Structure 1
Amino acid sequence: MAAASSVTLNQTLKFATLDVAGIKVNHKSKGTDHRAKSRLNAESGARVQQGVKLGGDFDKTKNPEFLKERVAIFDAIKARREEEMSSVRQEAIVVTLPDGKTVDGLAWKTSPMDIALGISKGLAQNCVVAKVVYSSRVPAPFEGQVCSDDGMEEEFEAVVTDGELWDMTRPLEGSCTLSLLKFSDDEGKMVFWHSSAHVLGEALEHTFGSFLTIGPPLANGFYYDSYMGDNTIHPPDFKDVDDAVKKIAKAKQTFERLVVTKEEALELFTYNPFKHQLISTKVPDGSRTTVYRNGDLIDLCRGPHIPSTGMIKAFSTLRGSSTNWLGDTENDSLQRLYAVAFPDKKMMATYLENLKKAEERDHRRIGTAQKLFFFHPLSPGSAFWLPHGARIYNTLIDFIKKQYWKRGYTEVITPNVYNSQLWETSGHWQHYAENMFQFEVEEATFALKPMNCPGHCLMFDSTLRSYRDLPMRYADFGVLHRNELSGALTGLTRVRRFQQDDGHIFCRRDQIRKEVAAALDFMKFVYDTFGMTYRLELSTRPKKALGDVALWNEAEADLAAAMNDFAGEGNWKVNPGDGAFYGPKIDIKVMDAMERVHQCATVQLDFQLPIRFDLKYKSGSSEGANEFERPIIVHRAMLGSVERMTAVLIEHYGGKWPFWLSPRQALVVPVTNELDDYANEVGKAIYDAGFFADVEDSDFTMQKKVRNGQLAQYNFILVVGKQERSDGTVNVRLRNNQVEGTMTVQELIARFTAYAQDYVPDF
């Protein structure tokens, strides 16, 4: 299957994301809701005790004594490891590069950096991290017992799909294939920002004497949480942090990995009750874990890291906030600092420029200014769509519905409430019940639907189906509800009530390629219309996949062929093992005007729901065991959530809506009040033609009326004076103040009709 170069990070991956327009920290209410994924929960080992205050007294001080003590302990442990390693055999190994060339080396001596330097010095200077796939390994006295649990598994599992990330300076352990990654690669960004978080942690220790807790990479940067007692970090303190980071970067500190026993780790972090608790709980007795050192920072960490802090050429602290250890309000209060770093100052300038744009274009800000929607505490996470917002919402739905008509979809309407037996059959109850709004009716449990697919399965199964009936393309804009944590609710991007352009295609195996190709063509039309670029990724069979391997292979081949037909071989990326357990999928990453990446559209194959609902259709065979066959379900959505897509489009357009999607298409401005009647006639004619027109009949001057209309983002300002009334015309100008001249009302309506039908982006 084809593969392309790495793409920009997807902001909807499993790791935490940075809301640049207004960073939110999700505080849980009293107690801990186990839906909120903690890095320190049972999913990755024993559960850390919660609801206990650990921090105690704290003295804010520069360069605390524990720094020197920790380094001395590290050096002693390092000497012991070096003695243990003296017995390891340095066997000959063969390293295979992506182009097929091979390099000879020695196990436990040759590093990726050695190989990069052998190719070119420039390559070595730009490599952030390596990725290896071992064919054989030379064992060390301790490596096989290492528990690399630093509490940040999810961040890297979300990015690394094939192979093992490896420090550039860490000796290779056997024969392998080796890839050298740069900042432009997804994994490279994550490692770069993870290392930058360590540098931020070092700055916090030096500047405030902070007790570090967790510092993960994000989709756009990183943060570090630290304990400072009752002290807080304020914006004026950011400069001190940034200055400390600059010194660390200038020092070109190398990152050094060290394997330590549980007892050694506890000794290293005796001063830090948070790290101490993490090690005590998460590292099994008798096993070892890893720490990393740069300068005098030593941190519990699985790695890997960049070769040197000197790679960090630009750094900026973005904002601070308060949070709690493990996100539980009964635990200690922590200080969180968000930051971002880049290997190039120009990248930082571009990022900060886009950050400013994002703040200006925040959909919550524009939504309020343009009176599109609001939220109320009596219905958290459910948008109230005001008249102008409803216009956008309904236009988006109509936009998709017109394509449904052209592309052979059948719209259906399904119930909002189902007995829990439906979700037990689908499998959602076992894994998703806590995210559903439930209630009891006549001693039975019911729930509001969070997705449409199980209901569509009932619809398919409502009558006998034939192979001639397939494909069947159901489309449903039914209202969905998901019980999101209140602290996670964020504008239109994370809500409890929403609608999707949800579609499910029931097809035969031999129809998969054609249906997927048609879905991709649909997607292209949608995002070309929005003026957004996109990238494709194929996520293949995961380790915990259900179903026949041969079926998976066949389906993946069909998806790959469809993607080759659509985008061309080499113009999409493979995410090995990143598919859902029930089928492979195509992730569509769309990029907005600020170069941010969103995952809205998706095409997902499903082998399991047809089995769970025992769906079947009468095959072409007349009788016998093959008389009936199972359909394949293709889950597909172009917009995804209409709410979230509206937020994306608000920020993409900056509130300057294209004419076809605009809630304010025309404003009629009479020069004087005596022309109000004619202005109303013009407005009514435009409205009767199906367009949104308002009349500005206030007592403001004509110039003020025009300016207000432009600021309100009316696409067209139609000025009418005595001459226009006499001629039955309007004087047309655009919201950018460009004067288009005079035309009749019917000519204008014809122009509007063309703009709307052709989805013209420029007006």
Structure 2
Amino acid sequence: MIKDEYMELYRHSLAHVLAKAVIEIFGKENVQYAIGPQIADGFYYDFVLPRTINQDDFAQIENKMREILKRKEVWTRKEVSRDEALELFKNQKFKTETIKDLPEDERLTIYYTGDDYVDLCRGPHVENSQDLLSAAFKIKSASGAYWRGDEKRDALQRIYVYAFPTKEELKAHLTLIKEAMERDHKKLGPQLDLFMFNETAPGMPYWLPRGWKMYKALIQYWRDLHIKHGYDEISAPVINNKKLWLISGHWAHYQNNMFIIPGADMTIDADDVFAAKPMNCPNAMLTFKRTTRSYKELPIRYSELDMVHRKEKSGQLNGLFRVQAFRQDDDHTFVMESQIEEEIDDILSIADEIYNTFGITCRAEFSTRPDDYMGDLEVWNQAEASLKNILDKRYGEGNYEINEGDGAFYGPKIDLQIKDALGREWQCGTVQLDFQLPHNFGLTYIANDGSQKQPVVIHRAIFGSLERFIGILIENFKGAFPFWLSPYQVGVVPIREEHNEYAKKVADALSDIGIRVEADYADKNMNEKIKEFRNYKDPYIVVIGDKEVEENTVSINIRGCKKQLKNVPLDKFIELCDKMNKEHTLELITQLD
């Protein structure tokens, strides 16, 4: 049995043990048990219980699970009819509903753990509880959930459990979890004064002065790189009439995730309904269409950083990772079919350069036609063949994952999965090939033979949501950003007030070449000033005393480094900072020639 199959069997079996333990603790007549699937690092089970589970209950539940395992009970699989299953689970409302949703002639499988616990399950499971005696598990948390994810249905209590085959694997995972909690952007962001949220705008970040400086540095890096690759930046309205979304297909395929806005008179007249844009693409189509186009102009690359809004359920919001308002590093490139492969290859080169700048690796996934696709099947086949050919050439046949049916409704796509410092993967970049929107918007260009042809659109983002990418960066770097990206790059600390004049000269000289500087000229203890800048994780803190003033130098405290660079010539330090900014250096320079 391969490892993934073993882990599924192992974790799914433990979920039954958890359910049995909860029933034994609270009493069978007091427990409704719903579902208990495995997840990436363990499993969960959903219950209705007579009271709310809290952390004080965790040890009791874990001990009861271990007690059950030591009984070495036999697990028995049985096939039953739908009617037999309904009789068996007549007092369990969630099992009964699940059974009734199945065809009347369906043969169902049930599993007994010992003689007194039975669950509706496809399996497979272990043959005896002793097979799980070496199991290493720990309750992670208990939280609220809804039956079938519907907030209008029954409220449930969900118990999450970490589970691994050995104690060593569990210990390693718990260490990783602890490190992840220390890196949590929802904690570090406010600590570093980067962003905040307010209940009046759920899922819509407020970027504070420090955070916005970092945000702008990221955007400037992105802009400078794309200018070199021939991109033109545009900006378009954030709100458009429903007519636009009907043409693009978003009204039919994405309306539930859009913020709908009635017109000024608050009517629901179809001609007076607007929506905040969830995507930039329809406006890019209009921008292309505004004039007659020639094949000589193609490719036309329209990059865009406008705000987009996507409506989410409140329970799905998660710091910067899942928001309702964000900027996306969008681009819509209009090409001839003969230009597709060269253009996408260049896009993937840009992605490699950007991710390498952050020390991040990535891998590609190919997503094909979904069930609710729009357009002609033959055109879809053509688009998928083009992307597959590109991936085969760049990564080698079979060296990328294929996600059948996971493409956008208007075209297949390549997703770029990046890996952070903790080994976690995040889907950020995407390249989508689109033959449909140009058709919907009637886009054409004059070919070299004088005929009118339809361009192909490449939708492309590399950061994806900038908010989400910054959240990833906060956790990846634990808030200690590379020099060029740090909100403030240098903190200036004059030891006494008589050093303020030279300190201001240092700060001004750095600011003149674009270095972000903060200085503390207050009459207070030097160590107090240094501590504040350290708490904000400023890369360099320069300390200025009598000798530095006299010799036109600075002494430098380097983030994460105990050694101080003493009496560095000011012009040498300015040169060092300028170099790190221009080269987007990943590591801090800790010594000078």
Q: Give how far 1:629 is off.
A: 2.6
Q: Give how far 1:424 is off.
A: 0.9
Answering whether residue 37 of structure 2 is matched by residue 216 of structure 1, we say: yes
Please say which of residues 312-321 and 564-573 is displaced more in the overlay: 564-573
Task: Please provide the CA RMSD for this pair.
Answer: 2.5
Structure scoring higher RCO (CA < 8 A, sep ≥ 6) equals: 1
Secondary structure (helix, strand or coil) at the match of 1:640 reads coil
Aligned mate of 2:110, from 281, 291, 295: 291
Residue identity in the other structure for 2:32: F
Please tell me whether the aligned partners of residues 269 and 276 of structure 1 are also in contact (alpha carbons under 8 angstroms). Answer: yes
Structure with bigger helix share is: 2
TM-score, structure 1 normalization = 0.71
Answering whether residue 388 of structure 2 is matched by residue 572 of structure 1, we say: no
Aligned mate of 1:640, from 461, 464, 467: 464
Alignment match, 1:687: 511
Aligned mate of 1:237, from 35, 57, 61: 57
Aligned mate of 2:237, from 415, 424, 430: 415
CA deviations on 1:735-757 (whole Å, 9 max, x unpaired) are 22332232222221111111111
Please tell me whether the aligned partners of residues 41 and 164 of structure 2 are also in contact (alpha carbons under 8 angstroms). Answer: no
Alignment match, 1:741: 566
TM-score, structure 2 normalization = 0.90
Cα pair distance change 1:715/1:549, threshold 3 Å? same
Cα pair distance change 1:671/1:412, threshold 3 Å? same
Q: Count residues in correspondence.
A: 575
Gaps of 5+ in 2: 589-593
Answering whether residue 261 of structure 2 is matched by residue 436 of structure 1, we say: no
Q: Give how far 1:286 is off.
A: 4.0
Q: Give how far 1:692 is off.
A: 1.3
Alignment match, 2:429: 601
Alignment match, 2:591: none
The within-5 A match list for 1:271-310 is 271-280=91-100, 282-296=101-115, 297-303=117-123, 310=131
Gaps of 5+ in 1: 1-126, 128-180
Measure, in 1, the Cα distance between the counterparts of 2:235 and 2:214.
22
CA deviations on 1:281-301 (whole Å, 9 max, x unpaired) are x12434444434444543223
Cα pair distance change 1:513/1:294, threshold 3 Å? farther
Aligned mate of 1:521, from 345, 349, 360: 349
Q: Give how far 1:666 is off.
A: 0.7
Measure, in 1, the Cα distance between the counterparts of 2:567 and 2:360.
33
Answering whether residue 433 of structure 2 is matched by residue 614 of structure 1, we say: no
Please tell me whether the aligned partners of residues 192 and 535 of structure 2 are also in contact (alpha carbons under 8 angstroms). Answer: no
Measure, in 2, the Cα distance between the counterparts of 1:445 and 1:605.
30
Secondary structure (helix, strand or coil) at the match of 1:265 reads helix
CA deviations on 1:627-674 (whole Å, 9 max, x unpaired) are 333222221111111111111111111111110100121111112222
Answering whether residue 281 of structure 2 is matched by residue 453 of structure 1, we say: yes
Secondary structure (helix, strand or coil) at the match of 2:586 reads coil
Cα pair distance change 1:564/1:192, threshold 3 Å? farther
Measure, in 1, the Cα distance between the counterparts of 2:456 and 2:160.
44
Alignment match, 2:47: 226
Please say which of residues 659-668 and 568-577 is displaced more in the overlay: 568-577
Alignment match, 2:194: 372
Secondary structure (helix, strand or coil) at the match of 1:233 reads coil
Please say which of residues 296-305 and 250-259 is displaced more in the overlay: 250-259
Alignment match, 2:578: 753
Alignment match, 2:501: 677
Measure, in 1, the Cα distance between the counterparts of 2:72 and 2:521.
67
Residue identity in the other structure for 1:244: K
Please tell me whether the aligned partners of residues 517 and 565 of structure 1 are also in contact (alpha carbons under 8 angstroms). Answer: no
Aligned mate of 2:143, from 314, 321, 332: 321
Answering whether residue 305 of structure 2 is matched by residue 494 of structure 1, we say: no
Measure, in 2, the Cα distance between the counterparts of 1:259 and 1:522.
56
Secondary structure (helix, strand or coil) at the match of 2:56 reads helix
Measure, in 2, the Cα distance between the counterparts of 1:304 and 1:398.
54
Measure, in 1, the Cα distance between the counterparts of 2:567 and 2:73.
68
Answering whether residue 194 of structure 2 is matched by residue 338 of structure 1, we say: no
Please say which of residues 584-593 and 305-314 is displaced more in the overlay: 305-314
Cα pair distance change 1:206/1:555, threshold 3 Å? same
Cα pair distance change 1:449/1:190, threshold 3 Å? farther
Measure, in 2, the Cα distance between the counterparts of 1:460 and 1:509.
17
Secondary structure (helix, strand or coil) at the match of 2:328 reads strand
Please tell me whether the aligned partners of residues 507 and 632 of structure 1 are also in contact (alpha carbons under 8 angstroms). Answer: yes
The within-5 A match list for 1:117-132 is 127=1
Cα pair distance change 1:594/1:496, threshold 3 Å? same
Residue identity in the other structure for 1:579: G
Measure, in 1, the Cα distance between the counterparts of 2:122 and 2:449.
56
Cα pair distance change 1:755/1:582, threshold 3 Å? same
Percent identity of paired positions between Structure 1 and Structure 2: 41
